Structure 1
Amino acid sequence: MSKKFLKVFNSPFSGPLFFWSASMFANFLNWLFNLHAGRLLTKEDFAILTVFLSFQYLVTVPANALLTTVSRFAAYYHEKAEHKKYFDFFRQYWWLSWVLGVLSLTIFTILLNPLSSFFGISSPYFMGIFSLLLTPLFLLSFEKGVLFGRLAFIWVGILIITEALVKYLFLFFSASLPFKPLEVAVGSLPISIFAAWFISLLIARSFHPISAYKPSPEKKENLFDTYKFLSNSLFATLGTVLIYSLDVLLVKHFFNVSDAGIYATLSLLGKILYFGAGSLIGILIPLTARSLAQNSSGRKGFITLLSIVSAAGAFLLSLYIFAPHFIVNLLLTQKGFVAIEYLNRYSLAMFLLVLSTCFSTYNLAKKNYFPSRLIILFALIQAGLITLYHNSLSQVVDVVLRTNILLFAAILVTEVLNFSSDTLKNNFSQLIDLFRSDKAVTNSSGKKILIFNWRDTKHLLSGGAEVYIQEIATNLVQKGYSVTVFTSNDQRNPKYETIGGVNIIRRGGFVTVYIWAFLYYVLKLRGKFNLIIDCENGIPFFTPLYSNIPVILLVHHVHQDVFFSSLVPPFSWIANFLESFFMPSVYKKQNVVAVSNSTAEELKNEVGLKVTSIITNGVKIDGAAVIKKSAKPTIIYLGRLKKYKNIDVLIHAFSNLLKELPEARLIIAGEGDQKEKLERLVTDLNLKTKIEFTGKISEKRKTRLLSSAWAMVQPSSQEGWGITCLEANACKTPVIASNVSGLKDAVKEGISGYLFDQGNSIQLSNILKNLILDTKKRKALEKSSKRWSQHFSWQKQAQKFDLLISQTLQDSRPQKTNISLSNLFRKLILSRI
């Protein structure tokens, strides 16, 4: 039995589990403290104590910022084994904790009388008692940060319990002390901090870095990043504390003693939910920092912790909503019933604040400071609104709820869009560029074509759609056209560039590229082009709504299934509406190009758009890079690492293949958001020595890998065409692909490769096995697949585009762009009848 207990205690979950249990027990002790104080003190004295508790939350802001910074960099440096940096960091921040502690005590001492007067506290004596906790609070926070950074969650839990237990016991035995109840209640705050700090000195010493290094000459450079983190951590903590504490102080200032007491009770119930649900959020900092040191994003741990926090918060919220009298009576006795009127709204606000804090903390650990700044912004907005609207407690509660709803929505949007402070700076820079001359727009002769596409070939996540546009555009330039491509920027490429004679303008990101496309066209590009090619990558640019020149819509494939598998509601619903309802209404009078027969059929049957032309992909291979087949059976996947690509199906099929062909190997070439998940799958299947992830590769290396492979696999659930299939065939490599739209057009069964049922790893494994073992059939496929690829060339596809552009310009008339909302809505409705 003891061995089982030790096994659990030493498991990876024991630290976080004990820390959570300790936090819950400390919250319980704090609740007992508040309950006992509520019974012991008069309503007026309890309101004063609540002010001091709010003061403690406020002065905890810089202390927690210090704790967070120490834990983040201690975890990172220790995991990276950067011992010299760790020692430099430790040395400076130990001194910083003393400086902050003494400085805060000095400032608070100077402000004793003004603060007492502002909050209606009769004597500065109580302020003097309270000020004694300031210096040890910072010293304690430093030691906690060291322990957190070393993942010593159990010891941190012990310190948390110590602080809460000493505070409660001191108040509990107040009757035997020669002091007034309010004096004891306020005095328990510094005494508990002193006790926890003393114990931390005994515990944390063994976790301090060994002073075996001289101070680094580059320490200022090393630590600049930590001070930036510290300031942003201060913003994050300050914003959160202001949201759940400043409202109490403002109510105390604007309302009478009775109403202030009611709101103090309400705030206490809200804090029970906030700290009860969010007690584990703090461990995100060291855990994420440790993952970053291991070159991982830490997202899996974040999702797990977010789920736990959400479940705990939802449980407490449901108790407040559906059994308010029971839970309030349990927590605060019947004295708390006065707050029930406002409890539903206030508790919902605190639940949303917990979720916002969780997202903010995760991003803070990754040094994305934008969510932290959002919290401080909304905290100030909430304070300003309470100052303006405080006719009643109900109005104040409404302000708190609405502020937290907007805060959570803003943070959720920034998380989905991966928005950061750098994104904000880049967008501001792009706004300034609107008023500068555009290097990429020339006044050359010939037809001027403007192409709107989501990405270009230099984007980190570029794929076949980007190759298609670049090749078509390059060939059109060779025919005398002037072509400009407006696309997004992954912040790795210049704003302007010319590639193969094609002018590239890069603005915006994942979503904002659509906004910048509209702004740039209306303010800068209007009147400079004869025709627009509008590329749909799930969502088109809707250029007919703001341009008066002919538009050709280019569609690679319909994205309905991709939306629902890759996006979460409501974003999947919005994307589905835009593609299936809004897009056909806007483009029904435009020429539409599909890249395959499958896409044309889907557009007709699922979207209601008639395709004008089918212009397939081409192929271009550097013959000098083609090499012989590898000595051992080699399978390759080439493309983006996205969920709908079903690369996990290939990995499972390859795992089965190894049982009969252990010498085989698999190469996965490309980048995408599924890379980390796929690498974990490879590790779980013990295939790290058999499967190689290359990341994004050059054109020359791509040709070498394709030509040396025995087969290429494309297991995607949907493609517009599958340009990599033709590229593999051009290298005399057969393709095994899913029997789905697009791929069944690109792969000629038995000629250029084989098709298998989507998601069927066993069938895929058998096809690969038969292909590898049947040398005669494989050699024949290599020759026939090469012949198949020769039917496709970019010159032929560009010639088709040339004819379509000429026909479109000949048939078109200038179009009005002042479409009113009423007319647009009427057109949308009529188009669906």
Structure 2
Amino acid sequence: MKSFILSKRITPEQLFMLSVLIVNGGNYLYNLILGRLLGPTQFADAAVLVTFLLVLSFIAMTFQLATAKFSVLFESGLFKSFVLRVYKNALSVGILLGLAIIIFAPQLQKLFNTTTSQMFVIFGCGVPFYFLMSVNRGIFQGKNELKSLSVTYQAEMLSRLVITLLLIYVLSSVSFSALIALGIAISFLFGLIPFSVKDISFKETTIIDKTHLKSIRSFFILTAFYELTQIVINNSDILLVKHYFEPYEAGLYASLALIGRIVYFIAWMFVMLLLPKVVQLKKENKSASKVLFKYVLYIGVISFVIVLGCFLFPKTIITMLFGESYISMASLLWKYGLATSMFALSNIFAYYYLSLDKYIPVIISGVFGMLQMALVVFFHESLEQVVYMQIIAMVLLLLIQLTFYKLDYKNR
């Protein structure tokens, strides 16, 4: 009886948030185990693959967010025709991108100083499945089927963790980088569970009119642009450090980034919930400001706690998570966490306005994403300097996003 009452009290949102925390915890465990097993030098290769995975997730997020938004706006036959088109386009983009990674694998090996090009070939083979998976998730997100959305994330995370460790244990003579890439590629197939077959109609029953097509294209283009800024802000530092610094230092920095980004990954779950709510409120001609600031408050409190913890106990955190060999990064931990916190907060404002079809904050994010990258390119004498450049860019980004919101609110 108690368990029944408890289950009644847990809302689908709370269940999804709990699921996301478990998924993020599993992904952290995956990276922590790899960091301890491989050591800083070999972990640098693994970090490149994980970064490629994050880059891929941001590109595919364009399809997921568009599917989620129009899942709210479109009904019945129109929605099924839309979903069929998105699946076709996502698969085409996935195949082209996968082929590009495979073809340019030798060049990627040289660019990022990895031990083998084989890891890029294996990774490229899995890319098309990731794009299909993202459209599937977009359907669940837009339809508010949070249980199914939770399952697909859980399936991807658990399969990657278990399969990768099994491969490393059983095939220890094979390149670790190739085995990690294989584990990632296989996890994309598991991430398709459950697959929303009922929403696919292979015969277009409803023609999408020009007005809707224009709206879809505009959202796709602007979301793609914004996700590009996410890629630059979230991942350019690791790739640039891998390019400019020795493998050992790059591995140390990868451990720092992994711990410091916990704020962003927690904020991501609020973004997943924010977009459909804002779109629905706009559809009903209601204000979404309260929803925005509820999530800003959540992320602000979480960010403060994490950054404070990193400031007070940096050595303890790094030793517990990665071991003594990474301890030299302790002094930079809270600083990196501060930069990530600023980005996570500004990111909520950008997605809020993206949901409302207002795109100036998206352009602002793009400008500061390029600024961050330029600062790191010109100022990288030490890992500490790389972190400072990110703090400068992200603090300025948040201040301008807040200023835009204040001006926009006054003009309503």
Q: CA deviation at 1:186?
A: 2.3
Give the SS at the match of 1:297: coil
**Does the 8 Å contact 2:116/2:177 carry over to 1?**
no
Give the SS at the match of 2:251: helix
Partner in structure 1 of residue 58 of structure 2: 61
Partner in structure 1 of residue 321 of structure 2: 331
Q: CA deviation at 1:317?
A: 1.5
1:467-515 Cα offsets, whole Å, 9 max, x none, are xxxxxxxxxxxxxxxxxxxxxxxxxxxxxxxxxxxxxxxxxx95xxxxx
Residues 1:106 and 2:107 aligned together:
no
TM-score normalised per structure 1: 0.47
1:643-676 Cα offsets, whole Å, 9 max, x none, are xxxxxxxxxxxxxxxxxxxxxxxxxxxxxx7xxx
Q: CA deviation at 1:212?
A: 9.3
1:88-133 Cα offsets, whole Å, 9 max, x none, are 3222112112111112112222222211111122332111111122
- In structure 2, give the amino acid aligned to 1:102: I
Q: CA deviation at 1:398?
A: 0.9
CA distance in 2, matches of 1:154, 1:311: 26
Partner in structure 2 of residue 813 of structure 1: none
The aligned runs of 1:201-240 (5 Å cut-off) are: 201=195, 204-206=196-198, 208=199, 214-216=205-207, 218-240=208-230
Q: CA deviation at 1:211?
A: 8.0
Partner in structure 2 of residue 200 of structure 1: 194
Residues 1:51 and 2:41 aligned together:
no
Residues 1:91 and 2:84 aligned together:
yes
Residues 1:184 and 2:176 aligned together:
no
Partner in structure 2 of residue 155 of structure 1: 148
Q: CA deviation at 1:52?
A: 1.2
Which of 39, 46, 50 matches 2:36?
39
Q: CA deviation at 1:62?
A: 1.9
- In structure 2, give the amino acid aligned to 1:214: T
Give the SS at the match of 1:215: coil
Residues 1:24 and 2:21 aligned together:
yes
The aligned runs of 1:615-630 (5 Å cut-off) are: none
Q: CA deviation at 1:213?
A: 7.0
Q: CA deviation at 1:36?
A: 1.0
**Does the 8 Å contact 1:40/1:181 carry over to 2?**
no
The aligned runs of 1:676-715 (5 Å cut-off) are: none
The aligned runs of 1:312-327 (5 Å cut-off) are: 312-327=302-317
The aligned runs of 1:38-437 (5 Å cut-off) are: 38-77=35-74, 82-173=75-166, 174-177=168-171, 179-197=174-192, 199-201=193-195, 204-206=196-198, 208=199, 214-216=205-207, 218-418=208-408
How has the CA–CA distance of structure 1 residues 90 and 389 changed in structure 2, closer, same or farther, with 3 Å as cutoff? same
Q: Using the TM superposition, name which of 304-313 and 188-197 deviates more.
A: 304-313
The aligned runs of 1:473-488 (5 Å cut-off) are: none
Gaps of 5+ in 2: none
**Does the 8 Å contact 1:288/1:298 carry over to 2?**
yes
- In structure 2, give the amino acid aligned to 1:172: L
1:412-468 Cα offsets, whole Å, 9 max, x none, are 11111118xxxxxxxxxxxxxxxxxxxxxxxxxxxxxxxxxxxxxxxxxxxxxxxxx
How has the CA–CA distance of structure 1 residues 146 and 297 changed in structure 2, closer, same or farther, with 3 Å as cutoff? same
Q: Using the TM superposition, name which of 344-353 and 37-46 deviates more.
A: 37-46
1:741-760 Cα offsets, whole Å, 9 max, x none, are xxxxxxxxxxxxxxxxxxxx
CA distance in 2, matches of 1:283, 1:274: 15
**Does the 8 Å contact 2:12/2:147 carry over to 1?**
yes
How has the CA–CA distance of structure 1 residues 305 and 388 changed in structure 2, closer, same or farther, with 3 Å as cutoff? same
Partner in structure 2 of residue 642 of structure 1: none
Q: Percent identity?
A: 23
CA distance in 2, matches of 1:328, 1:22: 25
**Does the 8 Å contact 2:40/2:252 carry over to 1?**
no
The aligned runs of 1:549-628 (5 Å cut-off) are: none
Give the SS at the match of 1:418: helix
**Does the 8 Å contact 1:278/1:309 carry over to 2?**
no
CA distance in 2, matches of 1:190, 1:141: 14
Gaps of 5+ in 1: 420-508, 511-672, 674-833
- In structure 2, give the amino acid aligned to 1:83: S
How has the CA–CA distance of structure 1 residues 76 and 330 changed in structure 2, closer, same or farther, with 3 Å as cutoff? farther
**Does the 8 Å contact 1:306/1:358 carry over to 2?**
yes
- In structure 1, give the amino acid aligned to 2:205: K
- In structure 1, give the amino acid aligned to 2:272: G
Partner in structure 2 of residue 5 of structure 1: 6
**Does the 8 Å contact 1:273/1:351 carry over to 2?**
yes
Q: CA deviation at 1:184?
A: 2.2
**Does the 8 Å contact 1:88/1:219 carry over to 2?**
no
- In structure 2, give the amino acid aligned to 1:189: I
- In structure 2, give the amino acid aligned to 1:19: F
**Does the 8 Å contact 2:342/2:395 carry over to 1?**
yes
CA distance in 2, matches of 1:42, 1:195: 28
How has the CA–CA distance of structure 1 residues 210 and 138 changed in structure 2, closer, same or farther, with 3 Å as cutoff? closer
Give the SS at the match of 1:96: helix
CA distance in 2, matches of 1:5, 1:151: 21
Q: CA deviation at 1:188?
A: 1.3
Q: Indicate the structure with greater strand content.
A: 1
CA distance in 2, matches of 1:225, 1:383: 31
1:289-345 Cα offsets, whole Å, 9 max, x none, are 111222213222222222222222222111111222232233323333221121222
In the alignment of these two chains, the number of paired residues is 409
CA distance in 1, matches of 2:111, 2:183: 23
**Does the 8 Å contact 1:47/1:261 carry over to 2?**
yes
**Does the 8 Å contact 1:274/1:354 carry over to 2?**
yes
How has the CA–CA distance of structure 1 residues 357 and 334 changed in structure 2, closer, same or farther, with 3 Å as cutoff? same
The aligned runs of 1:693-772 (5 Å cut-off) are: none
Q: CA deviation at 1:349?
A: 0.4
CA distance in 2, matches of 1:37, 1:166: 15
CA distance in 2, matches of 1:4, 1:210: 39
- In structure 2, give the amino acid aligned to 1:409: L
**Does the 8 Å contact 2:318/2:327 carry over to 1?**
yes
**Does the 8 Å contact 1:35/1:332 carry over to 2?**
yes
Q: CA deviation at 1:187?
A: 1.7
Give the SS at the match of 2:345: helix
Q: CA deviation at 1:210?
A: 6.8
**Does the 8 Å contact 2:35/2:255 carry over to 1?**
no
Q: CA deviation at 1:410?
A: 0.9
Q: Indicate the structure with greater helix content.
A: 2
- In structure 2, give the amino acid aligned to 1:177: L
How has the CA–CA distance of structure 1 residues 278 and 330 changed in structure 2, closer, same or farther, with 3 Å as cutoff? farther
CA distance in 2, matches of 1:25, 1:63: 22
Q: CA deviation at 1:230?
A: 1.2
TM-score normalised per structure 2: 0.94
- In structure 2, give the amino acid aligned to 1:7: K
CA RMSD of aligned residues (A): 2.0
CA distance in 1, matches of 2:343, 2:188: 26
- In structure 1, give the amino acid aligned to 2:355: A
Q: CA deviation at 1:280?
A: 2.0
CA distance in 1, matches of 2:59, 2:293: 27
**Does the 8 Å contact 1:76/1:286 carry over to 2?**
no
